[in-house]
Structure 1
Amino acid sequence: MAESTSNSKEPPSRQPRSSQYSTMTSAVVPSPRSPQSINIAESTSHSEEPPAKRIRSSRSVASATGCATVQPTVYRHLDKTKREIRICDLYSSSELSAPLICSLRIVPLDKVGEFVAFSYVWGQEPATEAITINGFQHQIRSNLAAGLRRFRANHYQSMSGKLRKPRPISVWVDAICINQDSIEERNHQVPLMRLIFSECEYAFSWLGESDGTSDLAMDSIARLETFECMQARGLKNVHVPLTQKGSPFREAAPWIAIRKLLEREFWHRIWIFQELRLPKKRILACGSKSIPWKTFKVLNQLCIGLIDKYKFLRRELAYLDHETQDEVVAVCRLAQSFVQILACRSYPKSERFGELVVYTTHLKATDARDKIYGLLAIAENPTILPDYSKTVNQVYTEFAKSMLDDIWNLPLLLYCGLSTNEDNTKLATWVPNWDHITRTETSAAARWGRWLDPGSARGNCLKHLAHLEFRDLPHLTAFHVRGQLRSSITGLKYQNEWLELHNYKSTISNIYGSLYPCWSERATDWEGVRQPVQRLVALYLTLTQNYSSLDDLYGFSIDEEKENTAAGFCYTTISRLDSETDTTDTVSKLSLSMLLETVGSEFKNLPEAFSHPEQYENDYLMAENDSLHRRVFFETSSGRFGLGPIGAQEGDIICNIYGFAIPLLLRKVDSHYLIVGSCFVLGCMADQGYDESKAEILEIW
């Protein structure tokens, strides 16, 4: 939507003819003449001149005097009051090499009839392909041109024998049907995309031309329907495609092909998200292959079934060779990251716009403003409208203000901080820079939030958060919020630095046998909770980002995972300490059994995993690496452990905003504060130790 490709001009005027529609798509009925001579519905009256003779470029042309003159645009004004859109009538052909020819017509959205919505990736390459629109040459990008040719050929083949002469295909394509040079028109048309993609007969989703593996991927996904039928007959095991004797899915090749298909740029663009969510019916096409969306959903169901049913997927796939295991896991991870989000047609009404933006942080946008505007079509009652005359800073700031005006969107602060705004100093630190987050993958740290309900800790948080307000400054806007400043941080170490053997041994020797500060000032009824706990236990919980007793408080079920990683932590610690002989007296006294007993104090009974802790070393190492990725390890002036964002400095202050589960790191500058980023500190999570009498109004720039 944000890219500008249109330089097309207006043809001589003509009166529109009526349209008729086939059983699949709507189209202008062709006259007995050449398709190029069909009257153009969007043009105004003009003397009849064969379009074949007046095809010209939509670019500027030179006059006889040598001065450049600009041809009028093919885009006639749309009536906003009638919610008019343009429909592209694409002329059929069975030949891929045949020129692309179409006509445009204007029609009110509620009278558009049947049409197909075209979904594709714009791409970065310049517009070098030509399509004839209303008799004028118009430049489009090569991916769109290839997709239109395949779409045209598929439609021609599907209608072969049904019609005496194939009719043009009515299709809506943003790069053709919207004047991309007009900001006013783009602002008007973007809000209509919800209805366009909801009311289309179907969406044609173009993944791109085929490569060496895409045909195998499309065929393999289609074959999964056979296994779905087997499951429908009572074989409920989600492993059916993987376990059945002779199944091709027991080999790596189809999974490699599927992984490469899912890695295509198509799946990682913000506009594709809504274009897959809204239509009633979707066709996925790649090269000459196409499959209905319901077939593709079988792959999604298989992956989600594997992920949901098993915490440790690789162990469950032990009967497969290692290469096949790797590829199955890779496909499932891709499915987990975006396919599951696209599994349903629409979000429930309870889904908030802020949550949609968070769910799609991994999706890219050529225009950074589309990180917000590209989701408006699937948002329930969005509070903002697209305005492409505004800067990225303005769009992001207004979005943040509109979200934070509703305290239920407070978790958006997880995505704020100096690290996300390092390339844009004019953006306030309380405003997430969504484009930077996507490009740098800094959003991974925000998983700590787990979208906890800000009122889940206590029911009266609304009273304490009633002080949210904004104050305009010369270059940005200040944000006022009530919060409690806690301890400052010290002893920062990056991942590689902290894991250096001498630092690791020093940390262990200084904490074994000592107690960690209580992380709750209220009594709990949950069994297995020991307060205070060993600092060694707190270190393990920090390095795996486990809330311990708070898991029960918020209803999370990760006990099995916590037990396994706990056993792996103990085994890994001893392995590291035994790697050299120059250990301190305290460290040399540690044994695996002592560590298991100490860490096991977090559980009601010693987990079964503790009997064979060596089996879980890899589980722990993966959790540790995941936690420390783009994080720094630190301690606090009050004796706690924490993980914070890259860019944190000695003296930064931990702050709790009441009702918001995740603490923030703030940096004081004069009389105001900057958000450095979110952090994980046991004892400061949710309302742990929060004292309302010590809270104050903080001004954040």
Structure 2
Amino acid sequence: MAGTEIPSARCLQSISIAESTSSSEEPPAKRIRSSRSITSATACTTVQPTVYRRLDKTKREIRICDLHPSSELSAPLICSLRIVPLDEVGKFVAFSYVWGQEPSTETIIINGSQHQIRPNLAAGLRRFRANYYQSLSRKHRNPRPISVWADAICIDQDSIEERNHQVPLMRFIFSKCEYAFSWLGESDSTSDLAMDSIARLETFAGLKARASHDRHVLLTQKGSPFREAALWIAIRKLLEREFWHRVWIFQEILLPKKLILACGSKSIPWTTFEVLNRLPPDISYRLSDYKLLRRELAYLDLETQDQVIAVCRIAQSFVYMFGFTSPSFCGIIVNTTHLKATDARDKIYGLLAIAKNPTILPDYSKTASQVYTEFAKSMLDEIWNLPLLLYCGLSANESNTKLATWVPNWDHVTRTKTTAAAPWRSWHNPGCTLGYCLRYLAHVEFRDLPHLTALHVQGQLRSSITDLKYQNEWLEAHNYKTTISNMYGSLYPCWSGGTTEWKGVHQPVQRLVALYLTLTQRYSLLDERSLTEKKETAAGFCYTTISRLDSATDTPDTASKLSLSMLLETLASEFGNQPETFSHPEQYENDYLTAENDSLHRRVFFETSSGRFGLGPIGAQEGDIICNIYGFSIPLLLRKVDSHYLIVGSCFVLGCMADQGYDESKAETLEIW
């Protein structure tokens, strides 16, 4: 029920903070608090219920925590709260950290009262306080309190009204702060080495440009410590910390003008940390680029190669995530699907500060289902946000029956890590431009139902699934052999450049090409680099196919007609000549098997009533219908229930991608629940 979800914008645990007030308003019900004292130095403090004085929304007031400095880590945490208008806040430091799952067991003294906070925040405050004290000259070792802002302390987490008011202000809080202190957590056995190594990266090899030569110098220079696997293992572990996987961290890194990263007693500015951005190749997650990088590292032992590449992959994801800009809130949400949130609603609310002119405002009185539905309705009003449907379907909503199948369950997407299998990048069709969308504008409207909302959209129903196999079934030699043998006598439409071109007579070998393109999810020629990768996987497909047919027993004559040379000739025709790659297909078997495994991960292989191949979501059933939605390049699988449809998920079917074979005269209004 609305209003029963108490978790805060960052965590389930609420914290009450003492604050001086002259208000006569009635305090809330008393809360039970720990009565243990912390040190003799604070024996005069008392444990008592406290209240937050109401903030003035018209003045955009916030609370600032004035932390008393100390050089001793073990010294009690003592601070006071004050209220100031955001426009008059002055200098302060914004705290960025992970709340953590531990209960609130650490004590902080606020305005003379003891309060409990979570261990990670307490550790971060102590380290920040000590670093600040040590940075002062000796004659200034008795400084005034340090002004900081930390959400767990400065926002009344028990007040839904206040949280709704304060979350939209976080954009300005992190933009106005003197700098943000990003606390990665306490040190471990490798973190000091990682922090020191990152600090030395830029100066050691003079990394001033993004070029493979710089990486080469860095790793080959005589006496370079960066040739040791242990160093790269330490950096990888630092980059895998929970800090980097929280949704709130995204805005807290992007918004501040200055940022300090701290782990244990070590700290480095963000500008130093960004040297990692220059390590990976200038690529877009292409396997072939990392193959080239491995060749650069051939003189290193395999363990070191693996660790360098692992760091480059993580750094590349940072480059993509933090360098990603989109005018659409939808694009931001999709780009951060992997980030976690303790409160499921924060998968949306935690990113509002980055959005330009967001169409929704935080309301923590609503359930996660209501928030996700409101967000989907606001986004689907814009034609370029239709890719949200890639994250919809029965499999994504199986844990939340209150969601319509056209509403993405973002919490489920993150928890099940289905983004690795989502076709957002690998199925993206360059031919689906804005011009295409404007030619086929989707007509979207909504109808309220008792428990959810129906989506009305224009679309064309295509063929249905007739034969479906899961990954393990499909890869059995018998099933693979049967599919190959059935190609002879079957026809497949000829296609070119993302659009169907009917050319009269269709040769059966086109179906073989279609199988390769389906199993690698490639159906258009992109740039020269992707074309090279396509040649390699095509050669590997040919070699793997013959190997599988040879391993099958009782191979029918139709399948035995195939030879490696015939397969190579058929696939090579895709490129207009016989590339050198096809002379040694066995060298590319692993590349193809990797691409095939990525395609089949969390998907099923199927054939359709019209004789096409396809890949669909787990949970698909025979009889599910392939549908093209107006203005959306990726087909969906729909399941008819009474007079309406449910979205099963997105699918990949050659001949149905983008505007392939789309017939506007056959479009109809579909009601999707």
Shared fold, TM over 0.5:
yes
Distance 1:466 1:565, change over 3 A: closer
Q: Measure the CA separation in 1 of the matches of 2:574 and 2:431.
A: 27
Mapping for residues 113-124 of structure 1, pairs under 5 Å = 113-124=90-101
Which residue does the alignment assign to 1:693?
665
Structure-to-structure mapping, 1:512-661, within 5 angstroms = 514-519=490-495, 534-548=510-524, 551-552=525-526, 558-580=530-552, 582-661=554-633
1:340 paired residue number = 320
Matched, 1:8 2:19: no
- The residue type paired with residue 325 of structure 1 is Q
2:75: which partner in 1? 98
- Aligned equivalents of 1:228, 1:357: Cα separation in 2: 37
1:144 maps to which of 110, 121, 124? 121
Q: Secondary structure at the match of 1:325?
A: helix
Aligned to 1:416: 392
Match of 1:388 among 335, 341, 364: 364
CA contact (8 A) 1:407 1:465 kept: yes
What secondary structure does 2:423 align onto?
helix
SS at match of 2:670: strand
Instruction: Work out whether 1:55 is the aligned partner of 2:45.
Output: yes
Do structure 1's residue 325 and structure 2's residue 297 form an aligned pair?
Answer: no
User: What pairs with 1:357-436 in structure 2 (closer than 5 Å)?
Assistant: 357-436=333-412
How high is the TM-score relative to the length of structure 1?
0.87
In structure 2, what is the equivalent of residue 45 of structure 1?
A: none
Q: Spell out the pairing of 1:119-138 with structure 2 (5 A cutoff).
A: 119-138=96-115
1:277 maps to 2:254: yes
Q: Which residue of 1 aligns with 2:184?
A: 207
What is the distance in 1 between the residues matched to 2:522 and 2:664? 25
Q: Secondary structure at the match of 1:470?
A: strand
Q: Which residue is equivalent to 1:242?
A: 219
Distance 1:379 1:531 in 2: 51
The alignment partner of 1:610 has SS state of helix
Tell me whether 1:665 sits opposite 2:665 in the alignment. no
Alignment of 1:212-361 (within 5 A): 212-227=189-204, 229-231=206-208, 236-305=213-282, 310=289, 312=291, 313-342=293-322, 344=323, 348=325, 350-361=326-337
The alpha-carbon distance between structure 1 residues 668 and 235, as it changes in their structure 2 partners (threshold 3 A), is closer
Shift of 1:564: 0.9
Whole-Å separation in 2 of the counterparts to 1:497 and 1:314? 34
- Alignment partner of 1:680 out of 634, 639, 652: 652
User: Deviation of residue 310 (structure 1)?
Assistant: 2.2
- Find the residue that maps to 2:363 and give its secondary structure: coil
Unaligned runs of 5+ in 1: 16-50, 59-70
Q: Is 1:408–1:453's contact at 8 Å kept on the other side of the alignment?
A: no
- Distance of 1:557 and 1:659 partners within structure 2: 29
1:303–1:230 CA distance, 2 compared to 1 (3 A): closer
Task: Assess, with a 3 A threshold, how the Cα gap between structure 1 residues 72 and 409 changes in structure 2: closer, same or farther.
Answer: same
Whole-angstrom CA distance in 1 between matches of 2:409 and 2:212: 47
The 8 Å contact of residues 217 and 258 in structure 1, kept in 2 or not, is answered as: yes
C-alpha deviation, 1:150, in angstroms: 0.6
Q: Deviations over 1:653-679 (max 9, x none)?
A: 000012211000000000000000000
Distance 1:227 1:695, change over 3 A: farther
The 1-side partners of 2:328 and 2:19 are apart by 45
Further displaced range: 580-589 or 654-663: 580-589
CA 1:234–1:297: 2 relative to 1, 3 Å: closer
Residue ranges of structure 2 left out of the alignment (5+ in a row): 1-8, 24-40
Q: Could you say if the C-alpha distance between residues 618 and 455 of structure 1 is closer, same or farther in structure 2, counting changes exceeding 3 Å?
A: closer
The answer (yes or no) to whether the contact 1:631–1:644 under 8 Å persists in 2 is: yes
CA separation in 2, counterparts of 1:317 and 1:635?
A: 43
- 2:73 and 2:141 map into 1 onto residues whose CA distance is 21
CA distance in structure 2 between the aligned counterparts of 1:319 and 1:572, rounded to whole angstroms:
30
* Percent identity of equivalent pairs: 78
Partner residue in 1 for 2:5: none
Q: Which residue of 1 aligns with 2:470?
A: 494
- The question of 1:82 aligning with 2:59 is answered yes
Whole-Å separation in 1 of the counterparts to 2:232 and 2:226: 7
Residues 273-323 of structure 1: per-residue CA shift (max 9 Å, x gap): 110111111111111111111111101221254768925343443332211
CA distance in 2, matches of 1:435, 1:185: 24
Matches within 5 A, 1:438-457: 438-448=414-424, 456=432
> What SS does the aligned partner of 1:371 have?
helix
Q: How many residues align?
A: 641
Could you tell me whether the CA contact under 8 Å between 2:427 and 2:521 is conserved in 1?
Answer: no
Structure 1 pair 458/272, CA: closer, same or farther in 2 (3 Å)?
A: closer
The offset of 1:559, in angstroms, is 0.6
